[in-house]
Amino acid sequence: MDRPRKPTLDTVASAVGVSRATVSNAYNRPDQLSAALRERILATAAEMGYTGPDPVARSLATRHSAAVGFMLGQQLSTSFSDPALSVVLDGLASTVDGHDHCLVLMPGRDRGGPRPETVARAQADVVVAYSLPDDAPALAAARARGLPMVVIDQPVLPDTARVEVDDLGGARMAATALRELGHRRFGVVTFALHPDGHSGPVSAERLESAPFRVTRDRLRGYLAVVGAQPVWECARSSRELGRAGARELLSASPRPTALLCASDELAFGALQAVRDLGLRVPADVSVIGFDDVPAAEHADPPLTTVRQPLTEKGRRAGELALRLLDGGRPGEPTRLPVSLVLRDSTAAPE
């Protein structure tokens, strides 16, 4: 079988007996040629099985690809499984969707982010980076390419648009509420401070050198209020790891009366850990989360947590991305408010 070479603009052009430019115009600038000719071109094209300009060639010529890239510090699949992240992406997607751009999710991980080669190859006109460590190679790669960038949460980079939240203040608020209820012995469960897969207790030194700004701030916020207290780091923000971490913290004696978690996912695990030990929330142990993901209010008991406007965060990032695409300047960082949502997982210690 003689492989039937795919028709191109040229093929169609010579079939119709016009120039390539004219065929191009038939697709891109209908007003540049007579309706009759255009009709004829389109008909012949259809007949030949030509589906219109090749997207890659077009992108090469126009130098843009109508796509928004997205890079994150975890596995690609986290985009769909982490509740907080997926709400952010929901917001981002709805913005991008409305403007008919594709959303390009980049794979891979190298010290907390896609590999630089991946970034160098990704077909996108702008990228949004989600909570990458300050030193992620992916960041350098994106900059080097000169890709406009919007950064969610971190890091702070010159010439990038930014959307962020007051993690420090939120954490402080949460810890303060607990202290005012009378709690004095705390345990803190956090997700990764460093992209090294470590799980376990956290030293002050490890905390201070952490490249994940968000984690660092939430932790600092907690500790600023409650003083030096045991901290357990989980490699990822997952229920399972939170459960294990909380169990470790709860095995200390005297036992902490309150658990401060860096995310709702971890808090859900902590809730489970308390039950595992035959204890009750909040009678024996108070648990507080961070994010206010949709599941927080349906947890058992409903989770007290620090709310950040996740959908809005994604939406804003999307708007900024589109603006950069149009040649706009990054402008001042967008700072979204946080607030404490009191539910039933917290109470005064007995």
Residues that bind a second copy (CB under 8 A): 6, 49, 51-60, 63, 65-67, 75-77, 79-81, 86-87, 89-91, 93-94, 96-108, 115, 118, 120-123, 141, 144-146, 295
Write down the least CB distance from residue 64 to DNA, Å: 9
Q: Which of 39, 47, 54, 90 binds DNA (CB under 7 A)?
A: 54
Q: Which does 25 bind (CB under 5 to 8 A by kind): a second copy, DNA, none?
A: DNA
CA dist., res. 123 & res. 290, Å (int): 34
Contacts of 91 (CB under 8 A, 6+ apart): 310, 311, 312, 313, 314, 315, 316, 317, 318
Contacts of 231 (CB under 8 A, 6+ apart): 187, 188, 189, 190, 201, 202, 207, 219, 223
- Angle of CA points 39, 44, 45, to nearest 5°: 95
Contact 314, 87 (CB under 8 A): yes
Taking contact as CB under 7 A, which single stretch among the options 58-66, 211-219, 269-277, 297-305 is the one that binds DNA?
58-66
SS3 at position 261: strand
Helix/strand number for the chain, H first, E second: 14, 13
Write down the least CB distance from residue 105 to a second copy, Å: 4
Write down the least CB distance from residue 141 to a second copy, Å: 7
Q: Which does 31 bind (CB under 5 to 8 A by kind): DNA, a second copy, none?
A: DNA
Of 287, 270, 265, nearest in space to 181 by CA: 287
Chain centroid, CA 146 distance in Å: 21
Site for DNA in 13-52 (CB under 7 A): 17-22, 24-25, 27-28, 31-34, 37-38, 50, 52
SS3 at position 52: coil
Give the number of residues in contact with DNA, rule: CB under 7 A. Answer: 30
Contacts of 349 (CB under 8 A, 6+ apart): 181, 182, 183, 184, 257, 258, 286
Contact 282, 257 (CB under 8 A): no
Nearer to DNA, 38 or 162 (CB): 38
Q: Which of 39, 43, 49, 61 binds DNA (CB under 7 A)?
A: 61
Q: Which does 37 bind (CB under 5 to 8 A by kind): a second copy, DNA, none?
A: DNA
Q: Which does 340 bind (CB under 5 to 8 A by kind): DNA, a second copy, none?
A: none
Question: In this structure, what are the phi and psi dihedrals at residue 335, rounded to the nearest 5 degrees?
Answer: -115, 120
Write down the least CB distance from residue 157 to a second copy, Å: 17
Nearer to DNA, 158 or 327 (CB): 327
Write down the least CB distance from residue 22 to DNA, Å: 3
Q: Which of 46, 60, 144, 279 binds DNA (CB under 7 A)?
A: 60
Nearer to a second copy, 211 or 318 (CB): 318
Q: Which does 123 bind (CB under 5 to 8 A by kind): DNA, a second copy, none?
A: a second copy
Using the 8-state DSSP alphabet, how is residue 194 labeled? S
- Per CB under 7 A, does 58 bind DNA? yes
Query: How many CA atoms within 13 Å lie on the side-chain side of 337?
Result: 3
Q: Which does 332 bind (CB under 5 to 8 A by kind): a second copy, DNA, none?
A: none
Which residues are near DNA by CB under 7 A? Answer: 6, 8-10, 17-22, 24-25, 27-28, 31-34, 37-38, 50, 52-54, 57-58, 60-63
